[in-house]
Structure 1
């Protein structure tokens, strides 16, 4: 009856949370969005096409057509401790919310007390004969059941539950954000490893060419057609090229350590997957979500929204604390001289009470707590708007980068081809003794620079493609917040999406 009475008269104080509207914009960049395509003429370079209003696949990394990348990301999702920590945070928030719901029901406690009592001899106390009246000694057994209930008249508990539910929702989106960050970091780190391998291979090719050129000069020196200074200069140039290898190899080893750590393994247990640019395909079709949908896809935006919801509910809790409160309690049990008589007729007792408490003066403590809760909502609102602006900026930055990457790759490929053709001519002229050593040095240096720039340009294009998928929210499947969310998130589209 008390529960029904509470539900009948409950009125929740404080604001009712309303989701912020999506930004009223038509695009992520000013004007019409142009797909990233290389300029006409020159060497052929793969183009990319923006597909507007398309959904992002949950397994967006599969667009790179790399089975080692697919395997490593699944391994990372299964074993990375950051995701396990986020899962534990969800359970903490969930159980806190369930615990708060318990205050909607009466709180029932029971106790049983058994005591041995020796009653004071009244005559001895007032100076009488100690032996005149014997001191009574007896046992007393009390069994008692206490029921208390606080009707949620102003909705204080309702708002508390609402706050904790919002915190749980926030933790769910934090898990999604951690998942998205992990998959993005693994893909980017794998691309960086491929870039380093490409730079190492290019440096080794230039070193090999330098050794061939040194061999030519040594033969010419033995025949009296080249000076010893030319041989020494080429040896110095070759040594300079060889000095470039150790730093690149160190970066590659550290990159392997990073990928191993992302996979949730110790550095001694290095991952087996290896990556190179030849086995990472550039996705040709890039889905671009509608701006109005971005706020639903980005987990950081949804987490900021849940934070607003939690702050809004706390205002109601603060207001309810300033209003009168009712406590209903009932106490029933039995008292007897031994446990066998505990439920005999005439041993029972009960009390029923109701009380009202209300703050009268507290030095404006509760008033200022309400104002602090209202300011916290303003803060959460500002943080939400900042998160939305950052999300749109991330997408715009990725779009801008991809539009310039195509031209950069084309220019880098053209530069490498030209530098290689120039080096081939110079080496041929060197073998015929038609050029000086300075021309060879310049041609070798230009070719090495051109190859490394081309490798880095291709890697940047792949990385910026991954950054676009991440900026769009990664396409987390709807209804994927379950106990087996890993299979849900990783199992969508068993076959790789068409590129």
Structure 2
């Protein structure tokens, strides 16, 4: 008996010494602290990038009030973002529940009985009894189980907030991408219509020459075929524009038919008149919400490891109760009143193997979270380097295609003059115009891709929340 009491006292002393489980500290030896991860980006070279910090509202770099308004509407009304906000509020409610665990808990009990003792000869209904009681208890939390549960819930709130912020980043990028799709479709339509108009002028001139004996029916048919091939591309761009408008409506929380009419007439590609500010790896790791969420998951599960460890020790609280009980006829009498006050002890000592297994599970989860955190960091860096490289190379390609288009335009103009004055043949003119049409369309597609590359880069950099 004395040994059992001694063991109990020793357990109580141990549980009162410190909070169970390890205190959380951010991972030290991780991908996030490697010098190659925190320095300048390898692909952020050349005139297209600046080392300045990326602004939270990066879409304002385009200086397009229409784009600003659409993104802000999406951040207010988007259904996915509303769902993510509700998840944050749910986590906050769970935290309040955990915090309530350290307050006084109360209970009220009331009951009645109808009894006839056996062998007494009493006739029914017998003796009517009652039992009324009020109890209260306050947890001492000597081993910090409640404290660790609150820490876990608090970290869960922050992880949910990070998930919401990541949705915000994605929604901002999706809205900008959809708007750019509409503008790009209108831009490509304008380019292709110019090509069609040029080829139609050539067709008309060829018909006049054929009527005057300077051309043939074969020349006319070839000119008409070239014009119709260019005209056949127009419906695809019109569909692209409409699909972008439908996507915008969805992102704004509207039915597709209620797409924003103000975006329908966007004719110029969004353009940034300065090098893109990208910061460095350290700024990226601080900014990316998914990395922050992964780090908060480690903190939450480290606290849960403490919750599991606390089950090795007794849970102690101070409790008391007052009540009335006895036969109904004696209610209020001196013998009907009772009370109790003292410590309450709860301990799953016989189930220590179960507790140890739970501790092992929690510890493995923490190690998995640390690995997941490293994976998030490495993936964020890879996405950013990939986006930087793609944008840089596509910008160089777009500049080269612009030069090729200008050369093709000069060549087509020269061929048209030579043909008009009888110094060039029709086939040369047609080839020059075909080259111009191809160069115009290819340059327009390259410029469109460049805008998409910019938005992909902003998404990889994690901008869009503050």
> What is the TM-score normalised by the length of structure 2?
0.87
Offset of residue 69 of structure 1: 0.1
Deviations 1:118-176 (A, max 9, x none): 5257355xxxxxxxx55564543432112244432322222222111111100111111
Determine the structure 1 residue equivalent to 2:363.
374
DSSP 3-state at the match of 2:22? coil
Distance 1:263 1:444 in 2: 43
State the number of aligned residues: 447
Residue aligning to 2:158: 169
Aligned partner of 2:379 in structure 1 is: 390
Aligned equivalent of 1:35: 46
**Does 1:299 find its partner at 2:306?**
no
Tell me, in whole angstroms, the C-alpha distance in 2 between the residues paired with 1:236 and 1:279: 30
1:104 partner SS: coil
Once the 2 structures are TM-superposed, how far is the Cα of residue 337 of structure 1 from its aligned partner? 5.2
- The 3-state SS of whatever aligns with 2:268 is helix
Q: Which residue of 1 aligns with 2:146?
A: 157
- Please point out which of 287, 299, 320 is paired with 1:309: 299
Work out the CA distance in 2 between the residues paired with 1:55 and 1:262: 27
- Secondary structure of 2:410's counterpart equals helix
Larger CA deviation: 233-242 vs 58-67: 233-242
Q: Which residue of 1 is the match for residue 27 of structure 2?
A: 20
Deviations along 1:336-365, one digit per CA (max 9) or x if unpaired, are 6559x7555442112446334233256x43
Say which is worse superposed, 248-257 or 270-279, in terms of deviation: 270-279
Partners in 2 of 1:49 and 1:335 — Cα distance?
A: 81
Q: 1:108 aligns with which of 103, 106, 114?
A: 106
CA RMSD of aligned residues (A): 2.7
Unaligned segments of structure 2, at least 5 residues? 1-11
Equivalent residue for 1:288? 278
Deviation by residue 1:51-94 (Cα, 9 ceiling, x = unmatched): x2x33222221110101101101111111011100110001111
Kindly report which structure 2 residues correspond to 1:294-373, keeping only aligned pairs within 5 A, or say none.
Answer: 294-326=284-316, 328-335=318-325, 343=332, 345-352=334-341, 354-361=344-351, 364-373=353-362
Aligned twin of 1:244: 233
CA shift, 1:20, in A, is: 2.9
Deviations 1:463-484 (A, max 9, x none): 333333333331633xxxxxxx
Cα pair distance change 1:406/1:470, threshold 3 Å = same
- Please list every run of 5 or more consecutive structure 1 residues that lacks an aligned counterpart in the other structure: 37-47, 125-132, 478-499
CA contact (8 A) 2:188 2:444 kept: yes
SS in structure 2 at match of 1:105: coil
Structure 2 partner of 1:457: 446
Once the two structures are superposed, what CA deviation does each residue of 1:375-428 show, in whole Å capped at 9, x if it has no partner?
Answer: 111111111111111222233233323433442232121111111112222233
**Aligned counterpart, 1:97:** 95
Q: CA deviation at 1:371?
A: 1.6
For the 8 Å contact 1:72–1:273, the answer to whether it is kept is no
The residue number in structure 2 matching 1:39 is none
Comparing both structures, which one devotes a greater share of its residues to helix?
Answer: 2
Preserved CA contact (<8 Å) 2:169 2:464: no
Sort the Cα spacing of 1:323 and 1:453 in 2 relative to 1 into closer, same or farther, 3 A: same
Question: In structure 1, the residue corresponding to 2:384 is in which secondary structure?
Answer: helix
Contact 2:41-2:280 within 8 A present in 1 as well: no
- Find 1:413's aligned residue among 381, 395, 402: 402
1:253–1:135 CA distance, 2 compared to 1 (3 A): closer
Alpha-carbon distance in structure 1 between the residues aligned to 2:464 and 2:17? 41
Residue of structure 2 equivalent to 1:482: none
**SS of the residue 1:318 aligns to:** helix
Distance 2:71 2:303 in 1: 38
Query: Hey, what's the Cα distance between the residues in 2 that align with 1:123 and 1:463?
Result: 93
Q: Hey, what does 2:6 align to over in structure 1?
A: none
